[in-house]
Amino acid sequence: MRRTSPIDLKPGMVLAKPIYAKNGIMLLKGGTKLTEDYIAKILFLRPPYIYIVDNASEGKVPDRSVCEETVDDVRRILIESITCISKDDLTMRI
């Protein structure tokens, strides 16, 4: 498995890890063989990187499987939630 830029994706490559939307919904599962349509949709989402199957890098462990923007969003939501709970404000909507 290796991490690659979405602009380097080619039809026939296979996803090593799933691709998730910002809201956490899985869009494509690991093992999906990429087509031109899938690649166009991935490029539209603008993820910073994608993990693809690559036998040359087998055995290497990637550093992170969630994009930094998602991590930042989750961190922000958690902080807001904790702040609201600590203020006994149960009207918060996500």
CB contact at 8 A, 38 and 12:
no
DSSP, collapsed to helix, strand or coil, labels residue 41 as helix
CB contact at 8 A, 34 and 11:
yes
What are the tens digits of pLDDT across the range 10-62? 999 999 999 988 888 899 999 999 999 999 999 999 888 899 998 776 666 65
CB contact at 8 A, 22 and 60:
no
pLDDT class for 75, splitting at 50, 70, 90?
A: confident
What are the tens digits of pLDDT across the range 1-17? 888 999 999 999 999 99
CB contact at 8 A, 16 and 53:
yes
| 61-89 average pLDDT score | 75
Q: Is the pLDDT of residue 63 over 70?
A: no
CATH number of 2-86: 3.90.105.10
The CB density around residue 63, as the number of other CB atoms within 10 Å, is 5
Predicted local distance difference test score (pLDDT) of residue 69: 80
